[in-house]
Structure 1
Amino acid sequence: MPSHAASVPRHPRKWLFLLPVLAAIGIAVLLNRGAGPPDQRETEPPARVVRVIEIPTADVVPRATGYGRVRPERVWEAVAEVTGRVVETHPRLRKGALLPADTLLLRIDPTEYELRVSQAEADILSTRAQLSEMEAKEANIRASLAIEEESLALRTAEVERKQRLLDKGTVSASELEQEKRNLLAQRQAVQAQQSQLNLLPAERELLQAQLARYEAQLADARLDLARTEVQLPFRARLSEVNVEQAQYVREGQVLIKADAIDRAEVEAQIPIARMRALLQGADPIDFSVGPGGELASQLGIRAQVTLRDAGGDVHWPAELARLSDTLDPETRTVGVIVSVDNPYADVVPGERPPLVKGLFVEVALFGAPRPQQVIVPRQALHGERLYLIDEGRLSIRDVTVKTLQPEYAIVAAGVSAGERLVVSDLFPAIDGMPLQAEPDPDVRARLLAAATGSPSPPEL
């Protein structure tokens, strides 16, 4: 029983704890009674900071780029034209050596060819002596013939005189016959001299033919003697040496190869679309006749060769020499060949190397300028749209692209010069979203450099 009495007063104490909570709820209901719903306000997102440029106009110089390897314009092979042993070589006859024109590279033993020259000269002297002897012989025969003809005239007159005497009966017939026999003998003597004289032209022609043959043999012997010396025809760099001192060489053997260093060539593959854009507006050219060496001037194209290197780019002015004979249907490219004068000039060790054979270089072709074109960075294009800022908000504009280059695009319609163009990556891009412009003069400068044909436009 005492335990039951002690548990009775515990329940009223629990209700005492609930009374304050119920009172607070009641007060809250009274305060909110008759109040309207809470205000709902739309919060605008903060303006995003973007880089912008003012769209410029410029005299655009179209540009097409390709890549290729440097090669010499002329390659010379020294082929042995005579047979013999090498008796002398240049002390710098080594691969890679740079040598001036007319340098004596090697000499083949000339003894045999000197003997042939001497023999041909002796034969010529002998034949010329025979011709001189024939001239004297002809003079003698003509003198003898003149004497014999005078004697013949006397014999003829004597026969006529004795004929008259026989008619008068003062000489016998036998004397007349004897005189006639003497006349016939004299005629035979005259004929013999005349026959010798008639044979002289044929003998002279024979000796002259022999003289011509000996002179040809002398020229051939002298030519072979000259061929025993191998000289460099132009300033060049030796690329291959296949001969040594005292080596026996045979006719037709390749001894030395050398590359001319006065002019280098690069054949690069240019996309056909880029070439088409480069040549738009050029005057017609009749390639069936051939433009000769004026291809670059007729097409209005200038060229430049660039070596891209971690230590800095190196440039060489070039000239468009000719187009390749074929197109590559797989890569849709056309081969162009540019030439560079003096590729070994102005070399600075460690900074500017020579334009040596085998270097992989960039070839840039620049077309005729197109005045006052509206240009934008290519990275700012989003398909055929541009992002602009209009009164602090994004304006997505449809545009018409006229020409597309790797660094920039020429816009024909849709925007105007001076408008502010967004060049930052903007995602998501919602038309009308607030933007805060931050000018980027570097992008604009690089854009103008690329569009106006800067020798080395930086990447955009």
Structure 2
Amino acid sequence: MDRKSVVNQILSLLVSAAILAAGTFVFLTLIRKPEQEASANPKPKPPVVRTVPVLEHDGRLDIVVDGIVTPYREIEVAAEVAGKVVYKNEACNGGRFVTKGTLLIRIDPRDYELQAKRLTSQLEQAGANLNELDVEVKNTEELIKLAKDQLDIERKEVNRLAGLIQERIVTDSAMDKAKQAELTSRNSLVRLQNELQLMKTRKTRLRSAKELVATDLELAELSVARTEITAAVDGVVVQDLAEQDSYVQKGSPLFTLEDTSAVEVKCRLRMEELHWLWRQAGSQRSAQAVAADYQIPQTPVTVTYELTGQDGVRYEWQGVLSRYDGLGLDEVTRTVPCRVVVPDPRAVNLVGADAIARPSGAPPALVRGMFVSIQLHIDQPDPLFLVPEPAVQPGKAVWVVRDGVLALVKPLTLIELIERQTEAGDLESHWLVESKTSALTPGDRVVVPPFGVLSAGMAVEEDGTP
């Protein structure tokens, strides 16, 4: 074996040993790498979510609906007597304000005054006739007394002659004359008694006639008074239909007067909103007093009106939800028509940053046709919760973090979306949630966006938002 072949064999062994060593190194490296990676990668942390606490609502439940102002009363005044309009006050024109008792229209009263004068004379004559009859009755009663005395005398005479005729002291003709005189006295007494009875009957007739004349006189005087038409209440003339010098018939419309002492606001409530009113009434009902089933619970309200161009300023009036406007639900809207009464439409309060004093453009009173917002203030027997609007998920559900674990609470009874001012002065939307029917408790923290895919039972970390 020469030197060259020995060198080749040595090189082959060295190459083989190098390949074997490289393979062993690669093998050992591949085995250790997963262990090193496993030890190098820490356990994944739970996702971080932003949470806010559930708060208790410390105020009343305020339900806001829209409404339109309508008159409290519209008085249609018509002529109660016929005649010519001889006077019309300038205040009796459409749009004018009048006070109670102001004379607005006078109808010619002369015909009715003459009739009243004639009936007054007839009444005096009827009284004189009754006085005359009283005198006649008194005289007749005196004549009856005399006739009775005369009859007694004649009877005594007949009795005396009856005793003498047996002794034949007097003749039969004298006895007959005495009896005839007694009969004449009796006839006179009966005639006077009949006359007295007729006088009493005539007195009743004359008294009835006098009362009839007195009634006619009262009617005539009432007609005279009805010729002057005055304002029955403080209000505004919204329609005038009669002009001066025109002739009006009895019952002809003259003008329409709107009572401004109060106004009403028409609104509509859903059955869900009435539910809270009925709950309030149920909590205040005692065992002895049962409210009428067809009466709406009397509830204080605030009526709000806003003018275009005056942002941040509101005009408010206080009123009360007083009654249903009819009975039952509207078949089209499925709502219940109701009426709100504002007892003082001129008592306006200004609310807002710029409402320091009444501006020149402020509405002086609440009048018909104004579109307003109505805020019903309802006292609730059970507390309510405030849940931020973004936290409420489809299906009326919220994610709640309890002991670092997510829980899905649903369904919530959402009452109303309200604006609530934060400590920074910003307005945030919150849902009012009924506490009695939800699984929420005060202090629960609900998850608000943004967040990824969540599932019940997932461990999470809170970002510490107060």
Question: TM-score if structure 1 supplies the norm length?
Answer: 0.74
Partner of 1:338: 340
Which of 417, 423, 427 is the equivalent residue of 2:443?
417
Query: Any residues of structure 2 matched to 1:161-200 within 5 Å, and which?
Result: 161-200=160-199
Rate the CA distance shift 1:418–1:85 in 2: closer, same or farther, 3 A.
same
Rate the CA distance shift 1:146–1:277 in 2: closer, same or farther, 3 A.
closer
Deviations 1:179-227 (A, max 9, x none): 2222222222222111111212211110111011111111111121111
Which of 306, 309, 314 is the equivalent residue of 1:308?
306
**1:323 equivalent in alignment to 2:324:** yes
Paired residues of 1:58 and 1:371 also in contact (CA < 8 A): no
Q: Tell me how far apart the structure 2 counterparts of residues 204 and 211 of structure 1 sit (CA, whole Å).
A: 10
Q: Tell me how far apart the structure 2 counterparts of residues 329 and 65 of structure 1 sit (CA, whole Å).
A: 22
Deviations 1:388-417 (A, max 9, x none): 8999x9979544413331332316335753
Paired residues of 1:56 and 1:374 also in contact (CA < 8 A): yes
Identity over the aligned pairs, expressed in percent?
23
User: What amino acid maps onto 1:238 in structure 2?
Assistant: V
Paired residues of 2:56 and 2:442 also in contact (CA < 8 A): no
Rate the CA distance shift 1:374–1:146 in 2: closer, same or farther, 3 A.
closer
Partner of 2:67: 68
Query: Any residues of structure 2 matched to 1:4-403 within 5 Å, and which?
Result: 54-280=53-279, 282-283=281-282, 291=292, 296=297, 301-310=299-308, 311=310, 312-324=313-325, 325-346=327-348, 348=358, 349-369=360-380, 372-383=383-394, 384-386=396-398, 398-403=409-414
Q: Tell me how far apart the structure 2 counterparts of residues 158 and 270 of structure 1 sit (CA, whole Å).
A: 103
Paired residues of 1:399 and 1:415 also in contact (CA < 8 A): no
Deviations 1:323-374 (A, max 9, x none): 2312024322112211111112358541243110121222222221355533
- Of 244-253 and 374-383, more deviation after overlay is shown by 374-383
Q: Secondary structure at the match of 1:189?
A: helix
Question: What are the ranges of 5 or more consecutive residues in structure 2 without an aligned counterpart?
Answer: 1-25, 31-36, 42-48, 350-357, 419-430
Q: Secondary structure at the match of 2:91?
A: coil
User: What amino acid maps onto 2:207 in structure 1?
Assistant: Q
Q: Secondary structure at the match of 1:304?
A: strand
User: What amino acid maps onto 2:342 in structure 1?
Assistant: V
Paired residues of 1:64 and 1:270 also in contact (CA < 8 A): no
Q: Tell me how far apart the structure 2 counterparts of residues 51 and 396 of structure 1 sit (CA, whole Å).
A: 15
Deviations 1:224-253 (A, max 9, x none): 111111122211111111111111111111
Paired residues of 2:107 and 2:228 also in contact (CA < 8 A): yes
Question: TM-score if structure 2 supplies the norm length?
Answer: 0.73
Q: Tell me how far apart the structure 1 counterparts of residues 447 and 134 of structure 2 sit (CA, whole Å).
A: 102
Q: Tell me how far apart the structure 1 counterparts of residues 97 and 463 of structure 2 sit (CA, whole Å).
A: 62
C-alpha root-mean-square deviation of aligned residues, in Å?
A: 3.7
User: What amino acid maps onto 1:259 in structure 2?
Assistant: E
Q: Tell me how far apart the structure 2 counterparts of residues 364 and 114 of structure 1 sit (CA, whole Å).
A: 56
Aligned residues: 390
Paired residues of 1:385 and 1:396 also in contact (CA < 8 A): no
Rate the CA distance shift 1:291–1:150 in 2: closer, same or farther, 3 A.
same
Q: Tell me how far apart the structure 2 counterparts of residues 194 and 385 of structure 1 sit (CA, whole Å).
A: 106
Query: Any residues of structure 2 matched to 1:420-459 within 5 Å, and which?
Result: 422=448, 426=450, 429-431=452-454
Q: Tell me how far apart the structure 1 counterparts of residues 386 and 72 of structure 2 sit (CA, whole Å).
A: 39
Question: What are the ranges of 5 or more consecutive residues in structure 1 without an aligned counterpart?
Answer: 1-33, 43-49, 440-460
Q: Tell me how far apart the structure 2 counterparts of residues 366 and 105 of structure 1 sit (CA, whole Å).
A: 42
Q: Secondary structure at the match of 1:203?
A: helix
Rate the CA distance shift 1:290–1:101 in 2: closer, same or farther, 3 A.
farther
Rate the CA distance shift 1:96–1:385 in 2: closer, same or farther, 3 A.
same
Deviations 1:77-100 (A, max 9, x none): 111111001112223111122211
